[in-house]
A and B are shown apart, each in its own frame.
Chain A
Amino acid sequence: MSRAWITAFILAVLALHVVPVAREFTGARETLWPFLAWGMYRHSSTPPVETTVYRILARTDAGTRRVRPEDAGFERFAFRRFYQIPIGRGDSAAAGELAGRLARRWDTPVREILLEEVVVTLSETGSRGRKTVRRFAAPSR
């Protein structure tokens, strides 16, 4: 490649990195990999410091066990996107799909999906957690 072509290439790569950042200020979220905006954690927070996390459990005839991404065969972000978040919002279809998937992978019937919703609040005196459990009966097959 000649210097001119390399220069054009360099400028194109740099421009393609600047565009998503500039576009983000217009409200658009750029998703064209590998040219993404980098301000993933740009928003600030104010007190109270509080968060909600979801844990999924499955009840089989052998007992109740925690469901991790590897149990469902997905990497962690996909597991959160397909199951944790929808089931956390009360999506019983996602719970049913997960139950069916686990039953196939574990080779045992899954009777129920349990969602533990844990709200943790931080204060100057320490942390405080509230846990509620929601149950989703597995569809009969």
Chain B
Amino acid sequence: MIERWNRWWFPQSDGLALAVCRILAAGSLLFVFLPFFMTSPSEHIALIERPGGFDHPQWMIRLGALLVPADSSAWPHLVRGAFAVAIGAGVTTLVGLRTRTSAALLTLATWFLVSHDGSYGEIHHPEIVLSLFLLFLALSPSGRRLSVDALLGDRPEGTTDRAVWPLKLTQVLLAWTYFSNAAAKLLYSGLEWMNGYTLQQSMLYSSLQWGRPLGFRLAQHHDLCVALSVATVAFELLFPLALFVPRSRTALLLSGAVFHIVLYFTMNIGFFPNVILYAVFADFRKPATRLRALRWGERRQDARMGI
């Protein structure tokens, strides 16, 4: 049992996959999610300045409020500071400079910003798995490869057994998000959830509320909504297969990407951090090996030609 556990969570690895995922996570947060999807600094400050204060503050904000009272004029500065830290630590995590410290700071800033946004009566899900992955980066040798740290000579030789568990844990969390979603639908509503009317209803509201004409069009086709509902539940239930059946991954991850793109353009539900994190399922050794072989071949050819 313990041997199986260790084999799954702690296999030897050179850390390349973790490094690629670190770059994707920090890069997407820095260049896509912070500027285009997450609440902006001015929107945070509008929340702070609105009368009424916090409504169901998140635990991190409650901790912060112990140090800085909720009605203090310092909160806008805290939010601006968190953005500055997120951007600075995002860059250093991306390039792998003092990688673990950078990832820890990026985690702290991101968690603070999402928690603050969710402390006014409504909390949302899209950043959850990405935020946890940032924490995993801070707790693992995420700067072992493809990093300034490695270039500066901090790179330990050989392989390590600590560079796979963050990827595996993120895989499990992604599988859990989908599977528990499908399970909740079936346990609460049974097969009725796939009657087509449920999706028509959700799509009708979201398309009109958030201005998604495509969703309004699709909502008018009951048979299509039945098919999409069945496909949704099937995809969510089957996603855990990606953990154990490598051959199923390509189909499941492509289905997932299509699923999230359709959700975005029909209902304005943007779970793109999860799509970026599909990279945790990828085997980066194969392309890396091919690249090395290609370079090695070029060098041999150059040597033969006397270059």
Contact = CB atoms under 8 A, between A and B. Distances in A.
Chain A contact residues: helix, strand, loop or mixed: mixed
A44 B189 contact: yes
A10 to B, nearest CB: 6
A21 interface: yes
Residues of B in contact with A, size category: 35 or more
Contacts, number: 149
A75 B270 CA distance: 14
B220 A39 contact: no
Interface in A27-85: 31-34, 36-47, 49-51, 53, 72-78, 80-82
B223 to A, nearest CB: 11
B267 to A, nearest CB: 9
B122 A81 contact: yes
Contacts of A103: none
Contact of B193 (A32, A40, A42, A50): A42
B192 interface: yes
A130 to B, nearest CB: 13
B118 interface: yes
A9 B139 contact: yes
Given A36-B123, A39-B185, A42-B185, A75 B40 contact: yes
B201 interface: yes
Interface stretch (A107-115, A118-126, A133-141): A118-126
B209 interface: yes
B42 A73 contact: yes
Interface in B208-223: 208-210, 216, 219-220, 222
A74 B208 contact: no
B184 A10 contact: no
Interface of B: 5-6, 9-10, 39-40, 42-43, 46-47, 50-51, 56, 58-59, 111, 114-115, 117-118, 120-125, 127-128, 131-132, 139, 161-162, 165, 169, 172-173, 176-177, 180-181, 183-185, 187-190, 192-193, 195, 197-198, 200-202, 204-205, 208-210, 216, 219-220, 222
16 contacts: A3-B161, A6-B139, A17-B173, A17-B176, A33-B114, A39-B184, A39-B188, A42-B188, A44-B185, A45-B195, A45-B200, A50-B201, A51-B208, A74-B43, A97-B51, A126-B220
